[in-house]
Amino acid sequence: SYVLTQPPSVSVAPGQTARITCGGNNIGSKSVHWYQQKPGQAPVLVVYDDSDRPSGIPERFSGSNSGNTATLTISRVEAGDEADYYCQVWDSSSDHYYVFGTGTKVTVL
Amino acid sequence: EVQLLESGGGLVQPGGSLRLSCAASGFTFSSYAMSWVRQAPGKGLEWVSAISGSGGSTYYADSVKGRFTISRDNSKNTLYLQMNSLRAEDTAVYYCAKVRYMITFGGVIRLDAFDIWGQGTMVTVSS
């Protein structure tokens, strides 16, 4: 089955840039989505189809995807960005299923 | 306002059954695929199952295949998850989610991101 690997944690100072990676075999050939989840809350979609943002998501959130790595970039990090972040793909190479990444805890110092 | 509201969670013994419901409002329910996602306490997100807008196509994670059944009643704008033969490892918060779109091209099926999530319902499997 397809596996998505994320770093367990990323720490960043306010105002700086956080980059969260999502590694998978030839992930660049798939559409990657990113979710933000704060404690006790449901996940929220922040980037879809590699680099598009839903309405209401700040431009500070951006995404890219190439080769074996997709990246979520949070610019000008704010305290409110502290959360868990998950990448996701739909895999239809052998069967049809979604895969979530292992998740990354972003800590704002 | 687009909204999803889960219900039906609770405490059940190993080997038991439970049916979750997800009531949708604010969008044309039958036009969208839907999905269930779960999260065990302190763990990450795990996809469980998905269903097409018509209900004619269903997809399952290997961990629940043969035990769980996803269905929908478009006349009631409601999504369901029938869970049988429950195990301790099924203990989790279960979320329903709306799929942005589903397309089929050249025999390939693609489901997109989850743009709307419910607040979740807790399922505890324990004796």
Spatial distance between the Cα atoms of A62 and A74, rounded to a whole number of angstroms:
7
Spatial distance between the Cα atoms of B22 and B33, rounded to a whole number of angstroms:
13
B47 touches chain A (CB under 8 A): yes
**How far does the CA of residue B76 sit from the closest CA of chain A (Å)?**
24
Give the pLDDT of residue A77. Answer: 98
As given in the structure block, the two tokens for residue A2 are 């397809």
As given in the structure block, the two tokens for residue B61 are 């994670």
pLDDT digits (tens, 9 = 90+) for B57-86: 999 999 999 999 999 999 999 999 999 999
- pLDDT category at B18 given cuts 50, 70, 90 is very high
| Closest residue, chain B, to A98 (C-alpha) | B47
| Closest residue, chain B, to A57 (C-alpha) | B115
